[in-house]
Amino acid sequence: MTEISLRLAVSFAQILAEMSIVMVTVATMTYFERKILGWMQDRMGPMEVGPYGLLQPVADGIKLFFKEDIIPAGANRAMFKLAPVLTMVIAMIGFAVIPFGPDVSMTMFGMTIKPFVVADINIGVLYILAIASIGAYGIILGGWASNSKYSLLGGLRSAAQVISYELNVGLAIVGVLLLAGTLSLVQITEAQAGGFWHWFIWGGRPDGFFPIHTQIFAFVVFVISAVAETNRIPFDLPEAESELVAGFFTEYSGMRFAFYVTAEYANMLLVSCVAASLFLGGWNAPYPGTILEYIGLEQLAWIEHIAWFTVKVYFFLFLFIWLRATLPRLRYDQLMRFGWKVMLPIALGNIVITALTLYFFPR
Amino acid sequence: MEQAFFFYFAIVIAAAAVFVVAVRNPIYSALSLLIMFFHVAGLYVTLHAEFLAAVQIIVYAGAILVLYLFVVMLLNLRRDDRYHRQWPMAAAVGVTLVLEAIVLTAMKGWTAPVVATGTETTVGGAGNAEAIGDVLYSTYLFPFEVASVILLVAMIGAIILAKKDVGGDAPQL
B47 lies in some domain = yes
The arithmetic mean of pLDDT across residues A283-295, rounded, is 77
For B42-91, how does the pLDDT look when each residue is reduced to its tens digit (9 = 90+)?
888 888 788 888 888 888 888 888 888 877 777 765 555 555 667 788 88
pLDDT of B111: 57
Q: Answer whether A156 sits within 8 Å of B58, measured CB to CB.
A: no
pLDDT of B151: 92
B74 lies in some domain = yes
Query: Which of B79, B113, B143 is the endpoint of a domain?
Result: B79
For chain A, how many structural domains are there in total? 1
pLDDT of B152: 94
Q: Nearest-CA distance from B73 to chain A in Å?
A: 7
Name the residue among B27, B50, B62 with its Cβ closest to that of A121.
B50
A319 lies in some domain = yes
Q: Answer whether B57 sits within 8 Å of A160, measured CB to CB.
A: no
- pLDDT beyond 90 at A229: no
Partners of residue A112 on adjacent β-strands: A107
A44 lies in some domain = no
Q: What percent of chain B lies above the pLDDT cut of 90?
A: 12
Q: Nearest-CA distance from A17 to chain B in Å?
A: 26
For A102-151, how does the pLDDT look when each residue is reduced to its tens digit (9 = 90+)?
777 777 766 777 777 777 777 888 888 888 888 888 888 888 888 888 88
A13 lies in some domain = no
Same domain, B72 and B129: no
A320 lies in some domain = yes
**B129 at A interface, C-beta within 8 A:** yes
B107 lies in some domain = no
Residue B143 is part of which domain span? 125-167
pLDDT of B147: 92
- pLDDT beyond 90 at A358: no
A348 lies in some domain = yes
The arithmetic mean of pLDDT across residues A63-75, rounded, is 82
Q: Nearest-CA distance from A156 to chain B in Å?
A: 6
Q: Answer whether A130 sits within 8 Å of B57, measured CB to CB.
A: yes
How many whole angstroms separate alpha carbon A192 and alpha carbon A276? 11
pLDDT of A302: 80
Query: Which of B79, B113, B142 is the endpoint of a domain?
Result: B79
Q: Range with the lowest mean pLDDT among A156-165, A309-318, B86-95, B120-129?
A: B120-129
B147 lies in some domain = yes
How many whole angstroms separate alpha carbon B66 and alpha carbon A140? 9
How many whole angstroms separate alpha carbon A196 and alpha carbon A203? 9
How many whole angstroms separate alpha carbon A155 and alpha carbon A142? 7
Q: What percent of chain A lies above the pLDDT cut of 90?
A: 2
B116 lies in some domain = no
pLDDT of B153: 94
pLDDT of A247: 74
Where on the phi/psi map is residue A281: left (φ > 0), alpha (ψ -120 to 50), or beta? Answer: left
CA-nearest residue of chain A to B68? A159
**3 state SS of A296:** coil
Q: pLDDT class for B148, splitting at 50, 70, 90?
A: very high
The arithmetic mean of pLDDT across residues A67-92, rounded, is 84
pLDDT of B79: 55
Higher model confidence: residue A357 or residue B150?
A: B150
Q: What is the CA radius of gyration of chain A?
A: 21
Which alpha helices (H) appear in chain A, and where do they start and end?
A: 2-40, 56-66, 77-93, 124-145, 149-180, 185-190, 216-229, 241-244, 254-279, 291-294, 301-326, 332-337, 344-360
Q: Range with the lowest mean pLDDT among A85-94, A167-176, A185-194?
A: A185-194
Question: Is residue A240 within 8 Å of A183, Cβ to Cβ?
Answer: no
Q: Answer whether A163 sits within 8 Å of B67, measured CB to CB.
A: yes
For A202-224, how does the pLDDT look when each residue is reduced to its tens digit (9 = 90+)?
776 766 667 777 788 889 999 99
Contacts of B67 in chain A (CB under 8 A): 159, 163
Question: Is residue A256 within 8 Å of A176, Cβ to Cβ?
Answer: no
Interface residues of chain A, partner chain B, Cβ below 8 Å: 79, 121-123, 126-127, 129-130, 132-134, 136-137, 140-141, 144, 152, 155-156, 159-160, 162-163, 166, 170, 182-184
For A15-45, how does the pLDDT look when each residue is reduced to its tens digit (9 = 90+)?
888 889 888 888 888 888 888 888 888 888 8
- pLDDT beyond 60 at B118: no
Q: pLDDT class for B166, splitting at 50, 70, 90?
A: low
Could you write out the DSSP letters of every residue in chain B?
-HHHHHHHHHHHHHHHHHHHHH-SSHHHHHHHHHHHHHHHHHHHHHTT-HHHHHHHIIIIIIIIHHHHHHHHHHHT--------S-HHHHHHHHHHHHHHHHHHHHHTTTSPPPPPPTTS----GGGHHHHHHHHHHTTTHHHHHHHHHHHHHHHHHHHHHHHTTSSS-S---
**Where residue B71 sits, what CATH number does that domain have?**
1.20.120.1200
Q: Is the dihedral of CA A86, A87, A92, A98 positive or negative?
A: positive
Q: pLDDT class for B146, splitting at 50, 70, 90?
A: very high
Query: Which of B47, B79, B111 is the endpoint of a domain?
Result: B79
For chain B positions 2-21, those within 8 Å of chain A (CB to CB) are none
Q: How many angstroms separate the Cα of A23 from the Cα of each of A53, A86, A134, A310, A352? A: 19, 17, 21, 15, 40
For chain B, how many structural domains are there in total? 2
Name the residue among B58, B128, B129 with its Cβ closest to that of A130.
B58
Query: Average pLDDT over chain B, rounded to whole?
Result: 78
A50 lies in some domain = no
Higher model confidence: residue A203 or residue A356?
A: A356
